[in-house]
Amino acid sequence: MLLPSLPVLCRRALPFSRAFACAMTLTATLLTQTPASAADLPRVVLLATGGTIAGAADPRSQSGYNAGAVSAEALLASVPGIGMHAQLTAEQIASIGSQDMNESVWFQLAQRIDALAKDPGVAGIVITHGTDTMEETALFLDLVTATDKPIVLVGAMRPSTAVSADGPRNLLEAVMVAADPKAKGRGALVVLNDTIHGARDVTKTNTVSVQTFQSLNFGAVGGVSPDAVAFYAPPAPRRHLDLPAAGPLPRVEIIYAYAGVDAAPVDAAVKSGARGLVLAGVGDGNASKATIAALQAAAKAGIPVVRASRTGSGPVLRNIELNDDELGFSAAAFYAPAKARVLLQLLIANGRITPAQVQPAYLPD
């Protein structure tokens, strides 16, 4: 005898307003029923933080939505067949849009990952996250976690209620990567749109495209489809920085260069208590003479200064456009400004503040 569809079953027993939640619960039950071989599947833990992948429609506009409105369990339930790839458990760490991502959530994620890494029954970890600051969270976790177990960040460009939502497929592929032994030892990875990116190079490049994430300098590290996971090269060497026992991390401000910029942004950052400064410079990490002079004064006062570029790709090279040795600056190499900031926060937290201590951390392996 064929059963009615899940929404029909729910509508028979519940008001329409609760039918969707009921359908999600029933779907989750069916998807997580244990087949005979399920005990042999790797265990993957989902840590949910919100974001567009967990977004739900909002009536303010045709494509408006609220981030973080859908639970971790409902996300898993929305992906048919996901339980064929791993034994899955879910934990809700936060329910925010990634524009509100903060150090408190970062510390929670790092500490939970550390605990899960010690569990021999856990094969990998998936983190659902908004796309706006995903690259920063990925780098932070890549730097402060020491486990060789896969840490996979995943998100979506369309909310869960959108036509042709990209979240379910992205989540399926993230679970596949986290469960794959070939992903071990690669640090934090970002999986969207059938592509696997490394934490250091990946960046968001488009406001709406589902292929927004690109690794502009070194390229993607792998690819994934519903059938297979493939990596293009062996794991790259990893760097590790100790995570402070508690926050906050040292305050590091980004100074954005533009035509006509003067010393005011630097002066304001120093006055507000910045313990480090990153220049999002024009070209090869440059800025006006007034800005450079203000940054030099900050460096002489013991505030680490790192030159990065606002261009989006390419390296910022030491002692090319500017005399970094004379100015007391470090060059960010291939780190974009937002990532250069995360790295500098952790370097300062680990007592590395001089150019001789800071510069090596930015150089390619």
Structure tokens at 50: 């919100």
128 is known as an active-site residue: no
Classified as helix, coil or strand, 355 is: helix
CB 253 within 8 A of CB 259: no
Counting Cα atoms < 13 Å in the Cβ hemisphere of 37 gives 4
CA distances, 303 to each of 2, 120, 163, 254, 350 (Å): 70, 43, 49, 13, 14
| Best CA proximity match to 363, nearest among 312, 318, 302 | 318
CB 168 within 8 A of CB 37: no
Q: Using CA atoms, how far apart are residues 158 and 161, in angstroms rounded to an integer?
A: 8
97: DSSP letter: -
AA identity, residue 300: K
Task: Please state the separation of Cα 339 from the chain's center in Å.
Answer: 11
Classified as helix, coil or strand, 349 is: helix
Among the listed residues 52, 131, 133, 145, the single catalytic one is 52
CB 261 within 8 A of CB 288: yes
Q: Using CA atoms, how far apart are residues 105 and 192, in angstroms rounded to an integer?
A: 22
Q: Using CA atoms, how far apart are residues 261 and 130, in angstroms rounded to an integer?
A: 32
Q: Using CA atoms, how far apart are residues 81 and 69, in angstroms rounded to an integer?
A: 23
Q: 223: buried, middle or exposed (CB in 10 Å: 19+, 13-18, 0-12)?
A: middle
Catalytic residues, by residue number, are 52
